[in-house]
Amino acid sequence: MNITLARIALKDEYTIGKLYMDGKYFCDTLELKDRGLKDSMSLPDIAKTKVYGKTAVPTGLYEVSVTNRSEKFATRAWAMPNNGIVPLLLNVKGFDGVRIHVGNKPSDLLGCIAVGVNDKVGWVSNSTITYRNLMNKLLADHNAGNKITINIGYDKPTTTT
């Protein structure tokens, strides 16, 4: 499965995006402030620009694992149906433990990505149900033996018909 996160609103405290799964719109996203980081940058350059707990991950292509249990979220009601397994972005330069999870506002994030519906400024609603729908799709794809990737950038995916 190919996931695209197109960042569409870069604000002082947060970033709003659109998440596409295999080219089809799935939901809105909330991240921390986009500080222009790119996966192609050196680790020292990322470290110079990153502000811990206030910075979105670098743009780039990442593999997503749906086999890693999150001890931090394992006891949360929304993570319990999957025994605390929460999607994890692998090999994010300058960041550790970047996950896609439930959240509504920037203070719910430390560099992770929250999913939901952007129906209020700086906020995503319906995050739990959106997350559960996302997990169902990701787990089905994983169980079918497919690799899951996410491309984080500024453009929505192009589709050919």
Q: What integer pLDDT is reported at residue 161 of this predicted model? A: 47
Q: Give the Cβ contact number of residue 138 at 10 Å.
A: 22
Task: Please say if the pLDDT value at position 158 is more than 90.
Answer: no
Residues 55-89 have pLDDT tens digits of 999 999 999 999 999 999 999 999 999 999 999 99
Instruction: State the average pLDDT for the chain.
Output: 95
Task: Please say if the pLDDT value at position 160 is more than 90.
Answer: no
Decide: 35 and 49 in contact? Cβ < 8 Å.
yes
Name the percent of the chain lying above pLDDT 70: 98
Paired strand residues for 6: 18, 153
Rounded CA-CA distance 115/40 in Å is 25
Residue labelled with tokens 């910075």: 55
Would you list the DSSP string of the chain?
-EEEEEEEEE-SS-EEEEEEETTEEEEEEEES-----BTTS-HHHHHHH--TTS-PPPBEEEEEES--B-TTTTTSTTTGGGTTB--EE---TT-SS-BEE--SSGGG-SS-EEEEEEEETTEEESHHHHHHHHHHHHHHHHHTT---EEEEESSPPP---
As given in the structure block, the two tokens for residue 142 are: 């994983």
Closest CA to 31 of 101, 113, 97: 113
Closest CA to 155 of 13, 14, 54, 59: 59
- What domains are there in the chain, each with its CATH number? 2-153 (2.40.440)
Residues 86-138 have pLDDT tens digits of 999 999 999 999 999 999 999 999 999 999 999 999 999 999 999 999 999 99
